[in-house]
Structures are given as C-alpha cells and as structure tokens.
C-alpha cells in the first residue's frame, strides 16, 4: 500500500472504504458499492458475488446504479451473473439486464431455462429484448451468437467532426476500441470503418471516406455469422485489430468486441485443455460445476477408455502360460506401458497445441514424422539403457533383461509413431485433433505395448 | 473469391500478383513483395520465409523496403526472422533490424550467440542498438525484457491539439493502441496517459490533464520491470486496456504493446500445455525444434518418470508369489492402473487450467476437495460396475471379480485425492502447479494403485 500514498486520488484513510462486498452492502449506499468495485479485481468480484445470500443479493440490486450494475455484471462470469439474478425477482433482474450491452445480456440469458428466459425477456425493455432475441436465434458458439449487434455509424460523405459527435454518444464504446462504421445508409452496405486512431489523426473537416479502412480490407478479417467462434483466434493473428466484424456478404451484422474476443480465446483454450486431459469440456467455470456435472462430463470418456483398455486383459490372458511360467515378466508391465504412454503424451500435447495455432498442417506430416522418429530413436536408446539397468538391479535372468531392454525401445518407437500420426490423421478426416488426449494415447499404447513385450519375450526366452 | 469482385481495390486480374514468396522474389521488384505481403497470413509468411535458400534470402533482403521489412519480420516468429537474418551478411541484417521497433529487434537478437550479437549490434544504428542493449540487460521473461522503451509523451499542460501532433509522428503507434503518455518532463514522473479515445472525444483546445487516465489508475495495471511476464494475463483480465505499462515507482520505463501482450499470453499457454504433457517447455516453435532439442526437453522428464515408475517393479516383486499362484490377477493390472491414471489426469488438467486463470485459490482447497471427492465416489461406482462386468466376461473366479471391483473403486478414489490435492499443495510451496502433468499423476497412481490391488487381493482371496 506504499504506492498509494504518492498520489492525491488515493482513497486510503477515508473511513468508509468497504473491504468486501458484504461490507459495502451493509453500508447501504451506492457510493460504497462503487468504492468496492474500484478496489476489486474481476476474480474477486466473481468470488464475492457468488457467495451472497438471497437477501444480500436483493439489497445489492437496489444499491446498483446503471453504471455499477454494468460494471459488475460485465466483469463476472455469465454463470455468476445468472445465479445472482436468480436470487432476485424478475422485474429487478430484467432492470439489471437492461443496463448491459445486448451481447453481454444474451450471454447471461442463454443460461436460463426456456420459461425463465421468456419471462425475463418480457420484463425487459423492448429494444433490448428484441436485440437479445436476435442474438439468441443464432446457433451456440457461432460468431452471430456472440457479436454485438449495435454499432456506431456515419455516412461516407460525413466529416471527421460528425464521426466524433457520433462517437460521443457512447464514449465507452470508443474506449473499448469499437470502431465507427461507415455505411451507405442505415442498415445498408458497409463501406469502411474508422479506427479511433484515424479519428485522432484526421483533420476535423476531412471527409471520413479519405480516412477509413475500406470494406475490402475489413472483409479480410471478418467472420460470417454462422462461422464457429474458434476461427476468431486465427483471424486475429493476421491482423492488429482487436475487433472482429461479423458480415453477411457486404452487410455488417455486428462486431465481436475486444473483450468478447479475449473471452472466446480463453474459452477455446480451456476447452482444448479439458479435452487434452481426457474429459469433455465443462462449458462452465470449474468452481461452479457440480459433482453431478463433473461426473457427466468425465464418465463417458472414462468408460470409453476403460472399454479400450479392456483389450489389455485379453492380451494378458493370451499370454497366461508365459506369465505363470515366468512371473518376473509381469514385474515390468507397468513400467513398460507407462513409459510408452508418457512418450506418446509428450508428443500429442506439443503437436496438438501447435496445430491449434496453425503451426502444423497436413502437408507437414512428413517433416513431423521425420523429426519425431529421429527423436524417438534417441529416446528409445536412452530409455533402453535405463531399462537394462533397472532389470539388472531387480536380479532377473539375463534373457529377461534383454527382453525388457528391446521391448522398451520398441514400445517407445511404436508410441512415437502412433502419437505423431494420429492427430494429423484426425484433422485430415475433419475431426478435432484435441480429442487425442494423453489418456487416449496411453490406452492405445498399453494393449499394443503388451503384445510387443510378450512377443519379444516368446522369441527370446527359451523356457516360454 | 466471389467477395473480391465487389470492390474496386481488388488486385485480382492484375498479371503480376505473386502467389508465393519465391515467385515474388523472382519478379524482383519491391512492389511484388508488398503484393505478396498483402495477400498472405502470418503463418504462411513464416512458412515461406523459413523455406528460402540463402541466395533467395539475399535477393529478398534487397527487395525489402523499410516498411515491408518491418511488416515481414514483425509478423513471423523471432526464430524464423533470426534464421533468415543468418543467411545474410551482417550489414544487411543490421539494416533490416534497424527498421523494427527496438523491442521486436531485441526478441530476434536475443536468440543469437554472444559473438553474433555483439557484431550485429555494432553494425546497427546507434540509437537502435543502445535501445536494444537496454532491453537485453533485463533478465529473460521479465516485463523489462519485453517492453517497448520508446513512447510518445506530452507535458500535463499541453492541449489535445499538441498531443495529436505528437501522435502524428508515428501514426502506426496509435493504430496499435499505444497511448500518449503525460510526463512532468522528459524522463520524469508519469502523470497519466491518454487513450486514443480520449484524444478523439476531447476538444482540441482542452488541456490533456482533464482527459488523461491519472497515474493512480495506470499503476493498478502496471508491472515492475522485473515482474515475470506471466503476470500480464492477470493484469489484463482486470482492465480493458490491451497495453500494459512497465513502471518503476512513479517512472514509466516502457510499455508492453497490444501484440507483445498477446504474444506473451500465447507463449505462456503453450508452456503450460507442454508442461502438462510431461515435457519441459520447448521455448521455440515446434516446427523449428531439432530432434536433438526435443530429446533434451523430453528425456529428463521421461527419466524422472521412469525412475518413479520403477517402484511398480518393486511392488510387483513383493507380490511375486501371489502372481505365480494366481496368474489371472495380473490380467487386470494395466486396466486398473490405467483407469486410475485417467481419473487423475482429468482432474489435474481442469484444476491447473483453472488455477492458471486465478479461478481457484488455496483457500478453496476445501471446496475443491469436497467437489472432487463426491465426483470421485460417483465415478468409482460407475467404474466398479464396469470392472465387475469385465472381470466376469474374462471368466475368472468370483473372488477375483470381487477384488477387481473393490480395487477399481479404491484406486479411483485414491487417484482423485492425489490429483485434487497435489496441484494446490505445489502452489502453496511456491512451485508451478503445471508440472503436475498427466504422466506424473499416472506414475504416482501406478505404484500405489498396485499396492491397493494386491493388498485387497490378499485380504479377500483364500488361496493367497
């Protein structure tokens, strides 16, 4: 708190700065809520808002000004906002939703069940609910469902001065990097758009058409309304703008604002991480997921993997006589198949991350395979030596040592091959390579690795 | 290509639009390079630049204008830029580096070895090399090493008009959302900063001090020069600005621009993904990593996991008599420990992703454990039923079926406990929880899972 003493705007020392949301509600002034907001990060807000009792939530709803309501509901997760609104009566909930941009309101409303949704939309202001209904009509996770449908616009023959006046209507928009669009007429074809920088640098009497980014350029980073939101990341990597237009032909339907874009990128990265962990994406913040939901998302994949892994039992049963004849063979099973799984997991995670960022394409399959096979040979050598040492320390017979050493090398190479090819193959047939999770690779390598091990054992060990 | 026919700026139909970089080099005009740049995404540029032969690279270096050099080198990865510059003589390389912003130049130069670095810095323009040296002096991966040290500034008593004139010096800066800073004097304390929006909305004769974001606010999302770059993501979640100031007390040292910020967030997400896959971060793009580098990053973790997994052999040896007496016990080993690993991997990936986004804190450990244990009980029940069915179809004796069923339930719960607690524990003792990879959880569960299995078997099966 040392830094704060430097500047006159510090609010330290004032008696009434509430430390928590509950304290702010107890103070019972709108000012206290604003002070709390000013001092609190987004995660903290989310956390404290979740924890409110229904009567505290109701008290809060009366203390929120339109500005602080927008600030609060816009910075917590849609789930947290939704659960907060559930604690209020419908008229209050609708009034708070009216303070938000329609895309932010839609994100919260889409979580409600059909009846709740219809009721709250009826209670909302007409323009806002019409706008929200329009957004909810697009399929989930499309650019259309996430865009902001209202935007500032001027005509191509307007001056910079006129565009500035239009922008003054909602200064927050411009702060968020929202562009002023240039349309032929309201609801007509897009002609170009004006960045805040263009407005700064242009002369006030200059026509906007001389400063705007022409529609041909804008289209290069536009999405269609039905495009999957995951394409956003790729569009942005090629352009400096943080705002993505949603266009249908030459018509502008809306824009994905700066913060929507970063929300989307975050959501997509989380989904990929969850898939990579061998689970279906949760779609809601982890801390708000019930055990029942977690079970629903995890159990199907666990059962798929379980069924796939059952194959290992069949392999083991086929070699029952060998295991009975030489129990020490079994000692190495977890080590061999575990190592195979680890080698494969290392490859798929790197490869899938690179593919998600467009860094590897199908035509690179030769380069990827070449690189991974050479690495695989180096790793196979390394681990074979480690395996030989381990087998020797367990005091097993020399032919078991030899079997373990060769099997490790073979399993590492086999796992390398599977893990390098599978993600690219999945992409080729149009599936999301992110489903090739570590657990899936481990499962595939377990059964086949056992076969490799027992076949080598049978070939090398005289008593089998 | 339908869309392009709509607008007059289309370059289709002109005979000379090169389809590839090599074609553009063959055309041998600067214009051809610019046309290629205009039509090509960042990944494509990276790909084609990597593929150039030394003589093509040299030819290209003479065709690049300062603008196209900056555009090209700034949008490919620093590694690709570095390898391209290595194909040129020093004077050309230095001239191209002079066209970049100093932070972008530093990102490329830091990849060179000490001698290359000194030589190219000597060949560069003095102001640029001084600036780059300043950046290279900060430790790697700190905010100081990634910031842009030059920024636009005005005095607090200047007018908006004056600020606009300052901004005109480098319009690109403003396009990238770089703010105009307000300083007491050159090199003096920061007083505030002016967003492009503030410059648009203010009257031209208004003093900037009435429009600026005061330093007290700016400090809330500032980083210190020695702060780890990974803090950037957290700072940005709490603020709408895409630009992060780097401050030492009241002094502004530089800014992390929009694109640096998104590069950093990308790098950090890639590092986390690589760690989660049980490997050390590569630090360079995958497609440019040699097998030797891949081996160096992967082998140490594989050996650590191998040594940890060796414990399974010791457990198996301890139960050698039981396996020899009842070989069918061994059938289920891969299935049991594989499932335990899968359950744990699902939990750690979700948990670590949530922790990376600050969504789970140490004080939540009780909530996390409660949620996961209830989920674990549901999953244990589900998998125990699946296990009983599987054991029954393998035709083993009823007490083996019972052993497998109970062991599966116990292993799932054990894995749940380990995977929920370990990441939070690591964070508590100050380590990066992302090192708790899927392979690590699987390894921990393998050995302990075997013990659970054999102990249950000994207790239940009369002949052991």
**Contact A242/B at CB under 8 A:** yes
Are A305 and B342 within 8 A, CB to CB? yes
Weakest-pLDDT range from A17-21, A135-139, B336-340: A17-21
**Contact A446/B at CB under 8 A:** yes
**Contact B388/A at CB under 8 A:** no
Give the mean pLDDT of B436-464.
Answer: 90
Across the interface, of B200, B302, B312, the residue whose CB is closest to A174 is B200
| Residues of chain B with C-beta less than 8 angstroms from the C-beta of A325 | none
Position A7 pLDDT exceeds 60: no
Q: Which two tokens stand for residue A450?
A: 């056992």
The string of pLDDT tens digits covering residues A178-221 is 677 777 776 678 888 888 888 888 888 888 888 888 888 888 88
Are A317 and B238 within 8 A, CB to CB? no
pLDDT at B234: 72
**Contact B305/A at CB under 8 A:** yes
Band of the pLDDT at B369, cuts 50, 70, 90? very high
H or E element that contains A371: helix A365-393
Weakest-pLDDT range from A64-73, B98-107, B174-183: B174-183
| Residues of chain A with C-beta less than 8 angstroms from the C-beta of B336 | none
Instruction: Find the residue in A nearest to B277 (Cα).
Output: A346
| Residues of chain A with C-beta less than 8 angstroms from the C-beta of B451 | none
Across the interface, of A167, A324, A371, the residue whose CB is closest to B324 is A324
pLDDT at B456: 95
**A388 CA to chain B: closest CA distance, Å?**
12
Strand order, beta sheet including A190-194: A153-154, A180-183, A190-194, A213-214
Q: DSSP state, B286?
A: G
d(CA B192, CA B158): 13
pLDDT at A2: 36
Looking at every residue in chain B, the average pLDDT score rounds to 86
Of A237 and B34, the structure prediction assigns the larger pLDDT to: B34
pLDDT at B1: 32
Position B113 pLDDT exceeds 80: yes
Are A386 and B168 within 8 A, CB to CB? no
pLDDT at B179: 72
Band of the pLDDT at B136, cuts 50, 70, 90? very high
**Contact A3/B at CB under 8 A:** yes
**Contact A328/B at CB under 8 A:** yes
H or E element that contains A115: helix A114-123
Band of the pLDDT at A177, cuts 50, 70, 90? low
**Contact B260/A at CB under 8 A:** no
Distances (CA, A) of B111 to A208, A211, B70, B93, B117: 44, 39, 18, 14, 8
Give the mean pLDDT of B58-84.
Answer: 92
**Contact B70/A at CB under 8 A:** no
**Contact B330/A at CB under 8 A:** yes
Band of the pLDDT at A6, cuts 50, 70, 90? very low
The string of pLDDT tens digits covering residues B263-317 is 888 888 888 888 888 899 988 888 888 999 999 999 999 999 999 888 898 898 8
Pairing of strands B180-183, B153-154: parallel
Instruction: Find the residue in A nearest to B301 (Cα).
Output: A342
The string of pLDDT tens digits covering residues B205-263 is 888 888 888 888 888 888 899 998 878 777 776 666 667 889 888 888 888 887 788 78
d(CA B238, CA B282): 30
| Residues of chain B with C-beta less than 8 angstroms from the C-beta of A74 | none
Instruction: Enumerate the domain spans of chain A.
Output: 13-137, 153-258, 286-460
pLDDT at B213: 84
Are B174 and A277 within 8 A, CB to CB? no
Are A7 and B214 within 8 A, CB to CB? yes
Give the mean pLDDT of A434-443.
Answer: 88
Give the mean pLDDT of A143-160.
Answer: 86
Are B338 and A446 within 8 A, CB to CB? yes
Position A12 pLDDT exceeds 50: no
**Contact A197/B at CB under 8 A:** yes
Position B33 pLDDT exceeds 80: yes
ipTM score of the complex?
0.84
Opening angle at CA A45, ends A89 and A149, nearest 5: 70
**A350 CA to chain B: closest CA distance, Å?**
6
Give the mean pLDDT of A142-164.
Answer: 86
Are B442 and A442 within 8 A, CB to CB? yes
**A256 CA to chain B: closest CA distance, Å?**
14
3-state helix, strand, coil in chain B (%, to 5): 65, 5, 25
Report the CATH architecture of A153-258.
Roll (3.10)
Among residues A199, A36, A266, which one has the least CA distance to residue B195? A199
The string of pLDDT tens digits covering residues A266-310 is 888 888 888 888 899 988 888 888 999 999 999 999 999 999 888
pLDDT at B342: 94
Residue A153 dihedral angles phi and psi, to the nearest 5°: -150, 155
Fold of the CATH domain B286-460: Tetracycline Repressor; domain 2 (1.10.357)
Position B82 pLDDT exceeds 60: yes
pLDDT at A338: 93
Are B438 and A443 within 8 A, CB to CB? no
Instruction: Find the residue in B nearest to A340 (Cα).
Output: B302
3-state helix, strand, coil in chain A (%, to 5): 65, 5, 25
Are B339 and A309 within 8 A, CB to CB? yes
**Contact B43/A at CB under 8 A:** yes
Of B109 and A155, the structure prediction assigns the larger pLDDT to: B109
H or E element that contains B99: none
**B333 CA to chain A: closest CA distance, Å?**
8
| Residues of chain A with C-beta less than 8 angstroms from the C-beta of B346 | 277-279, 298, 301-302, 439
Give the mean pLDDT of A62-81.
Answer: 92
The string of pLDDT tens digits covering residues A19-53 is 899 999 988 899 999 999 988 888 889 889 998 99
**Contact A348/B at CB under 8 A:** yes
Position B10 pLDDT exceeds 70: no
Are B7 and A266 within 8 A, CB to CB? no
Chain A (221-240) residues lying within 8 Å, Cβ to Cβ, of chain B: 236-238, 240
Band of the pLDDT at B15, cuts 50, 70, 90? very low
pLDDT at B266: 82
Report the CATH architecture of B153-273.
Roll (3.10)
Burial A299-335 (b: 16+ CB within 10 A, else e): bebbbebbebbbbbbebbbebeebbbebbbbbbbbbb
Are B313 and A335 within 8 A, CB to CB? yes
Chain B interface mutation, best of A375, A424, A444, A445, highest count of B Cβ atoms under 10 Å: A375
d(CA B420, CA B143): 32
- The end-to-end CA distance of chain A, in Å, is 74
Are A237 and B443 within 8 A, CB to CB? no
Among residues A342, A192, A337, A339, which one has the least CA distance to residue A252? A192
Q: How many beta carbons lie within 10 A of that of residue B167, not counting itself?
A: 22
Are B302 and A379 within 8 A, CB to CB? yes
Pairing of strands B244-248, B251-256: antiparallel
Chain A (125-154) residues lying within 8 Å, Cβ to Cβ, of chain B: none
| Residues of chain B with C-beta less than 8 angstroms from the C-beta of A331 | 313, 316-317, 320
Band of the pLDDT at A8, cuts 50, 70, 90? very low
Burial B21-43 (b: 16+ CB within 10 A, else e): bbebbebeeeebbbbbbeebbbb
A13-137 homologous superfamily = MgtE N-terminal domain-like (1.25.60.10)
Are B334 and A312 within 8 A, CB to CB? yes
pLDDT at A5: 36
Residue B277 dihedral angles phi and psi, to the nearest 5°: -85, 5
Across the interface, of A305, A310, A343, the residue whose CB is closest to B390 is A310
């Amino acid at each position: 708190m040392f830094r704060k003493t430097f500047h006159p705007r510090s609010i330290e020392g004032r008696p009434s700065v509430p430390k928590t949301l509950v304290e702010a509600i107890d103070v019972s002034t709108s000012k206290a809520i604003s002070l709390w907001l000013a001092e609190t990060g987004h995660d903290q807000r989310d956390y404290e808002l979740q924890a409110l009792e229904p009567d505290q939530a109701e008290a809060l709803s009366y203390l929120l000004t339109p500005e602080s309501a927008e600030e609060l509901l816009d910075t917590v997760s849609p789930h947290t906002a939704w659960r907060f609104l559930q604690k209020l009566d419908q008229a209050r909930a609708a009034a708070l939703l009216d303070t938000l941009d329609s895309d932010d309101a839609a994100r919260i409303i889409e979580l409600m069940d059909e009846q709740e949704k219809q009721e709250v939309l009826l209670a909302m202001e007409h323009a806002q609910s019409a706008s929200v209904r329009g957004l909810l009509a697009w399929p989930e996770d499309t650019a259309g469902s996430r865009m902001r449908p209202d935007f500032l616009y001027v005509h191509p023959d307007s001056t910079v001065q006129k565009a500035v006046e239009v922008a003054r209507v909602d200064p927050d928009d411009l702060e968020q990097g929202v562009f002023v669009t240039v349309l032929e007429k309201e609801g007509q074809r897009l002609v170009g758009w004006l960045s805040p920088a263009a407005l700064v640098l242009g002369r006030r009497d200059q026509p906007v058409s001389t400063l705007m980014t022409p529609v041909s350029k804008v289209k290069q980073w536009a999405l269609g309304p039905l495009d999957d939101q995951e394409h956003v990341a790729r569009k942005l990597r090629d352009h400096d703008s943080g705002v993505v237009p949603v266009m249908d032909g030459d018509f502008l339907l809306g824009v994905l604002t700066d913060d929507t874009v970063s929300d989307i990128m975050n959501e997509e990265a989380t989904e990929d991480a969850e898939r990579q962990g061998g689970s279906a994406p949760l779609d809601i913040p982890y801390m708000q997921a019930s055990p029942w939901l977690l079970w629903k998302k995890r159990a199907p994949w666990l059962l798929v993997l379980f069924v796939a892994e059952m194959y290992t039992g069949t392999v083991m049963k086929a070699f029952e006589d060998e295991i009975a004849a030489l129990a020490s063979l079994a000692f190495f099973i977890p080590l061999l198949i575990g190592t195979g799984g680890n080698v494969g997991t290392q490859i798929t995670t790197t490869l899938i991350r690179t593919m998600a960022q467009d860094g590897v394409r199908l035509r690179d399959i030769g380069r990827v395979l070449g690189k991974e096979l050479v690495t695989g040979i180096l790793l196979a050598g390394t681990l074979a030596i480690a395996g030989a040492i381990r087998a020797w320390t367990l005091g097993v017979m020399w032919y078991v040592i030899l079997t373990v050493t060769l099997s490790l090398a073979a399993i590492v190479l086999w796992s390398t091959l599977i893990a390098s090819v599978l993600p690219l193959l999945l992409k080729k047939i149009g599936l999301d390579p992110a489903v090739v999770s570590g657990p899936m690779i481990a499962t595939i390598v377990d059964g086949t690795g056992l076969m490799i091990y027992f076949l080598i054992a049978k070939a090398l060990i005289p008593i089998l």
